[in-house]
């Protein structure tokens, strides 16, 4: 990437079809909103900020091919997107080969560092750990783990098993289903839950899998006031697809919910719905897709270049007011300081925030100690992030 290259052009890697398109379509919209707002304020490096990107079809092969095409044909300065970890991993070799950057807006399992990759979604200490605390303090000690069959569910469930065990809880069963699972696979999971009832379900199902499962769980008559589905993946877009009756009582942990009461979030929600429709649901993954574009633009403005090394040096030196609160890229890990929150779905299909961090939590993606008694959060940020 040349220091003098203008206009700047972003490559958007999001799916409009396939199993995870329910979330990725919204992530793409949020990224476009950020680009439009930047252009409305004068653009980037004196030029209109441009973007390109075709449907990646929720397939790692689609992400790999489109990422390479965006570098080779569209000459983009950086890539933004990916949802599943398998898709991120498919893109990273191309990012490395082109000495470029990928801004990844989705929570993930941790245990990764790639030069040029900025992780804007939650690390396990910013979601799974908070969920384990909430579940065991609120509901009980018997858990059933169900996930989609790819990298993230296996890894986060491995961590969740340890987190639950450390809190005196037991995992009674663990099952994975294909990303394109049919009714038979969903029905089998419901049958296994009934055999172990009562249990609290921890779901890492994504996309249509999650929608079908939540509907089946509701139809099976489980009492979600005592045995809810808890998740770090399924938010407002999935709850909207499920319908409010089946959504009520389900739980998600994330840095962002659309009901956050702040001026920055109210602007974001208003602009998003003015642009994409009054009924548009919003989720943490979309909010990250939005603020990471603005993080990049601010870093480019300060550096005067899109050069990867310069951007990586600049990113940790400033904070940005995101809809969730002030965020910052951690210099040690390239992950982002975020605000953990626990939300319970209500009858309107949104979430009521029932627990939240008093200040942002520094990412610990490598979990050197899974349950560090001196968890780094609010108080420590004053010195490390003035």
Q: 386 pLDDT exceeds 80?
A: no
Confidence (pLDDT) at 369: 58
How does pLDDT run across 313-366, given as a tens digit for each residue?
999 999 999 999 999 999 999 999 999 999 999 988 889 999 999 999 999 998
Confidence (pLDDT) at 272: 97
Q: 6 pLDDT exceeds 50?
A: yes
How does pLDDT run across 26-80, given as a tens digit for each residue?
999 999 999 999 999 999 999 999 999 999 999 999 999 999 999 999 999 999 9
Q: Domain coordinates of the chain in residue numbers?
A: 9-121+261-337, 125-258+341-384
- pTM for the structure as a whole: 0.90
Lowest mean pLDDT among 80-84, 244-248, 256-260, 371-375: 371-375
Secondary structure (H, E, C), the chain = CCCCCCCCEEEEECCCCCCCHHHHHHHHHHHHHHHHHHHHCCCECCECCEEECCCCCCCHHHHHHHHHHHHHCCCCCEEEECCCHHHHHHHHHHHHHCCCCEEECCCCCCCCCCCCEEECCCCHHHCHHHHHHHHHHHCCCEEEEEEECCHHHHHHHHHHHHHHHHCCCEEEEEEEECCCCCHHHHHHHHHHHHHHCCCEEEEECCHHHHHHHHHHHHHCCCCCCCCCEEECCCCHHHHHHHCHHHHCCCEEEECCCCCCCCHHHHHHHHHHHHHHCCCCCCCHHHHHHHHHHHHHHHHHHHHCCCCHHHHHHHHHHCCEEECCEEEEECCCCCEEEECCEEEEECCCCCEEEEEECCCCECCCCCCCCCCCCCCCCHHHHHHHCC
**Quick count: other Cβ atoms within 10 Å of Cβ 194?**
12
Query: Does 84 or 377 have the greater pLDDT score?
Result: 84
At how many degrees (to 10) do helices 128-138 and 151-166 cross? 50
How does pLDDT run across 352-365, given as a tens digit for each residue?
999 999 999 999 99
Q: Where does the pLDDT of residue 368 fall: very low under 50, low under 70, confident under 90, or very high at 90 and above?
A: low
Q: How far is C-alpha 291 from the chain's CA centre?
A: 12
Lowest mean pLDDT among 26-40, 72-86, 125-139, 230-244: 230-244
Confidence (pLDDT) at 65: 98
Q: 378 pLDDT exceeds 60?
A: no
Mean pLDDT of the chain: 92
CATH code for residues 125-258+341-384 = 3.40.50.2300
Q: 382 pLDDT exceeds 90?
A: no
For residues 231 and 135, give the distance between their C-alpha atoms in angstroms, rounded to a whole number: 10
Strands 325-329 and 320-322: antiparallel
Tell whether domain 9-121+261-337 is in CATH 3.40.50.2300.
yes
Confidence (pLDDT) at 235: 87
Q: 374 pLDDT exceeds 90?
A: no
| Common-topology check for domains 9-121+261-337 and 125-258+341-384 | yes
């Amino acid at each position: 990437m040349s220091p003098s290259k203008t206009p700047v052009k972003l490559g958007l890697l999001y799916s409009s079809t396939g199993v995870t398109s329910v979330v990725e379509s919204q992530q793409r919209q949020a990224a476009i909103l950020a680009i439009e707002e930047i252009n409305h304020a004068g653009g980037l490096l004196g030029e209109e900020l441009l973007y390109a990107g075709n449907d990646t079809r929720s397939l790692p092969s689609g992400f790999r091919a489109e990422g390479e095409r965006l570098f080779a044909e569209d000459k983009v300065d950086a890539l933004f997107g990916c949802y599943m970890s398998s898709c991120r991993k498919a893109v990273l070799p191309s990012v490395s080969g082109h000495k470029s950057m990928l801004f990844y807006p989705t929570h993930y399992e941790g245990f990764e560092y790639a030069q040029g990759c900025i992780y804007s979604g939650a690390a396990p200490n910013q979601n799974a750990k908070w969920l384990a605390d909430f579940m065991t303090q609120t509901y009980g000690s018997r858990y059933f783990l169900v996930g989609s069959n790819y990298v993230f569910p296996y890894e986060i469930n491995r961590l969740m098993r340890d987190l639950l065990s450390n809190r005196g809880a037991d995992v009674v069963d663990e099952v994975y289903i294909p990303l394109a699972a049919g009714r038979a696979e969903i029905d089998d999971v419901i049958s296994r839950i009934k055999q172990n009832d009562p249990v609290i379900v921890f779901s890492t199902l994504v996309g249509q899998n999650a929608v079908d499962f939540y509907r089946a769980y509701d139809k099976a008559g489980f009492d979600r006031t005592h045995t809810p589905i808890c998740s770090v993946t399924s938010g407002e877009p999935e709850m909207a697809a499920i319908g409010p009756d089946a959504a009520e009582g389900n739980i998600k942990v994330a840095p962002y919910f659309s009901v956050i009461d702040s001026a920055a979030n109210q602007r974001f929600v208003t602009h998003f719905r003015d642009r994409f429709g009054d009924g548009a649901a919003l989720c943490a993954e979309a909010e990250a897709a939005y603020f990471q574009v603005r993080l990049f633009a601010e870093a480019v403005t300060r550096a005067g270049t899109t050069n990867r090394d310069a951007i990586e040096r600049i990113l940790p030196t400033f904070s940005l007011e995101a809809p969730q609160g002030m965020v910052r890229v951690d210099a040690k890990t390239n992950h982002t300081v975020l605000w953990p929150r626990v939300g319970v779905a209500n009858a309107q299909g949104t979430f009521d925030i029932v627990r939240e961090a008093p200040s942002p939590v520094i990412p610990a993606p490598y979990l050197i100690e899974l349950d560090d008694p001196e968890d780094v959060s609010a108080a420590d940020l004053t010195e490390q992030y003035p």
